[in-house]
Amino acid sequence: MPVWAAAIPLLAAIVLGWSWVAPASVLLASVCAVALIGAVIAAVHHAEVVAHRVGEPFGTLVLAVAITVIEVALIVTMMVSGGVDKAALPRDTVFAAIMIICNGVVGLCLLLGGLKHHEQAFRLEGASSALVCLIALATLSLVLPAFTTSAPGLMYSGSQLVFASVASVVLWGVFVFVQTVRHRDYFLPSGTAAEQDAHAAPPSLRLAWASFALMVVGLVAVVGLAKALAPTIEQAVRAAGAPNSVIGIAIALLVLLPETWAAVRAARADRLQTSLNLALGSALASIGLTIPAVAVASYWLQIPLILGLDPKELVLLALTFIIGAITLTTGRSTVLQGVVHMVVFAAFVFLAFAP
């Protein structure tokens, strides 16, 4: 194991501890930003070591679930500290994650992979299965609350929230079963890069466990440092006169850095299937794990939970899924699909600043 890969997560954890006791300053924010970037790079390195040991698609699942669990813990912690003022935080976070992943991450992978390899192939069966589950989860969690009448505003009633939570767990659980057991071949990468990986000697079990532990340390540092930087980001957003929703987008971008880095690296290495597994799997885990967790937290804390999207967000979500469905119909991609997704992502960011 490289020395830097072992040292950086530990140093990032030390910086995170420093941020808890030191007063806010420009120096502290700068050090936290540098440590966050280093933790992202190290976490992705260790995730790739674990992935090489366990094989695909388990490798991408490990990274997606690990960071999503930590992200859920961050959301619940902020709900506890923020109370009623954070009623819409889970909705904003999940929606931002979907838009960032399905447009920003997927678009960047298609664009950079297409620029290097001209045309890339992926398994239509795996990508379309993930997208179908994602559309169902997003509709049940973010769209229907805007149209139901049992509860006021953009909220579910108690029984409706229980149903949505159970449905989220069931859909995500069945997808993971299909991805890893029943139809694992649908999600396996193909091509020269995948063949080279298959012939490379896997790391030892001891090294894989060490990398897994350091990956978890790195991901905890990433999410913790993102939270530490949140006040600085909030002040910058308010100074610029931007809406509060921009704060959620900025924090989501920081938290999703490890997955974005790993997905882009895979696309550049001509493993687009791995990129799609990671991106779409992260979006599915984000909803499938977040909604049940925040539902329990809202019941326990007696905090109202706003899940329904406003009309502008509903249009962007529908556009994202329509374009995604078309992109995944051929099993091959070029830079054109990448540019289309990136333009939609740019529209999402722009309309967040200019609603």
Instruction: Give the least confident one: 15-19, 47-51, 76-80, 102-106.
Output: 76-80
Give 300's pLDDT tier (boundaries 50, 70, 90): confident
Q: Identify whether 2 is preceded by a cis peptide bond (ω within 30 of 0).
A: no
What share of the chain has pLDDT > 90, as a percent? 27
CATH for 3-353, among 3.30.300.30, 3.40.309.10, 1.20.1420.30, 1.20.58.110? 1.20.1420.30
* Spatial separation of the C-alpha atoms in residues 299 and 277, rounded to whole Å: 33
**Residues with Cβ < 8 Å from 214, sequence gap 6 or more?**
5, 6, 9, 10, 42, 43, 46
- In Å, the largest CA–CA distance within the chain is 58
Residue 279 · residue 101 · CB < 8 Å: yes
Give 81's pLDDT tier (boundaries 50, 70, 90): low
Smallest Cα–Cα separation from 8: which of 255, 218, 256, 262?
A: 218
pLDDT in tens, 93-148: 889 989 999 999 999 999 999 999 989 988 888 889 999 999 999 999 999 999 99
Residue 226 · residue 39 · CB < 8 Å: no
Residue 254 · residue 45 · CB < 8 Å: no
H helical segments located in 178-271: 192-199, 205-240, 245-255, 257-268
User: Does residue 196 surpass a pLDDT of 70?
Assistant: no
- DSSP symbols for 63-117: HHHHHHHHHHHHHHHHHHHHGGGGTTHHHHHHHHHHHIIIIIIHHHHHHHHHHHH
Give domain limits for the chain.
3-353
* Spatial separation of the C-alpha atoms in residues 85 and 207, rounded to whole Å: 44
* Spatial separation of the C-alpha atoms in residues 217 and 282, rounded to whole Å: 19
Tokens of 221: 């540092």
Q: What is the model's pTM?
A: 0.81
